[in-house]
Amino acid sequence: AEIVALAADVLGASGVPDCSVSLGHVGFLKGMLGGLALPEEGDREVRAFLYRKDFVGLRSVLERYGVPPARAEALAGLPVLSGPDAIREARRFAEPPESRQALRALEDLTGILDAYGVGDAVRVDLSIIRDFEYYTGIVFEGHTSALGFPLLGGGRYDRLLAGFGAPYPATGFAVRVDRVLVSASAPGEPEGGFDVAVGFVEGSRAEALRLAGALRARDLSVTVEILGRPWEEMAQAAIASGVPRAVLVTDGRAVVREGDGREGAIAIADVLDRAADRGISWIS
């Protein structure tokens, strides 16, 4: 509880708007999966779909392995098991003892967090999927409506320190400072006044840097992606911070994401031509 409360306080002090901490428990899912009696290959497939939150694919693999419809619906319904009624709804089908124990632990934790004064910033979300082998109990993530990716994540990992000769239980979390900085930017105000954010795929770094230099020569303020984030994350972060458009350089072409969400691929030469007029869209 102390660590989750600290995570809520960190987000509250970060300047990021509309923050919340979502709580889950790996024991809930472990119990549900253990009751399926899947072969090893099937268990791996199901976990892979859960990690990706691909619930359409999950339904398909559960049907293929003959999982009873009620149990399959319970797993496929994880996305809606969040909010104030999540624990009560989950109890309707959480038959395995491990799953029921996890729900009791979450209920106890939320009560303690109320005493810490952060109850309003915390919600139960049983769809949180984190590493089953690493985490052993409560898991949590920090989110904001300004960004579609977690700002922080952590949980209980009782087996980790044993690998370093200190078999003690532990709880911790890590903050994605880059995401916090982006999310804390005032809406509509480009971070640093940038006109465009430029990223690149592997093998296209030199081409991206040449494009950034050419855009700067046209009096545009350009930020180049140096954090190695995936395109979707980088583009969302740029747009959320107020940058009008993001560009991904890939093998002589440029994928352009406009501030209104439209996306298209154009030639690098077209990027330079259209950059001359800041008032027009770079894609058709």
- Does position 191 have pLDDT exceeding 70, yes or no? no
In this predicted structure, the answer to whether residue 187 has a pLDDT above a threshold of 60 is no
Question: Does pLDDT of 108 surpass 90?
Answer: yes
Average pLDDT, the chain: 88
Average pLDDT over residues 40-45: 87
Asked if residue 192 has pLDDT above 60, the reply is no
Whether domain 191-275 has CATH 3.20.20.70: the reply is no
At position 35, the amino acid (one-letter code) is G
pTM, entire model: 0.66
Distance CA 183, CA 32 (A): 35
pLDDT tens figures, 70-92 = 888 888 888 788 898 999 999 98
Q: Which CATH class is domain 2-184?
A: alpha beta
DSSP code, position 125: B
Bridge partners for 196 per DSSP? 222, 245
Region 30-57: what's the mean pLDDT? 85
- The whole-number pLDDT of residue 186 equals 47
How many C-beta neighbours within 10 Å does residue 40 have? 7
Q: Which helix (H) or strand (E) holds 138?
A: strand 138-144
Break the chain into its structural domains and give their ranges.
2-184, 191-275
Q: Whole-angstrom Cα distance, residue 82 to residue 62?
A: 22
| Pairwise CA distance, residues 38 & 51, whole Å | 17
Residue 240 has pLDDT above 90, yes or no: no
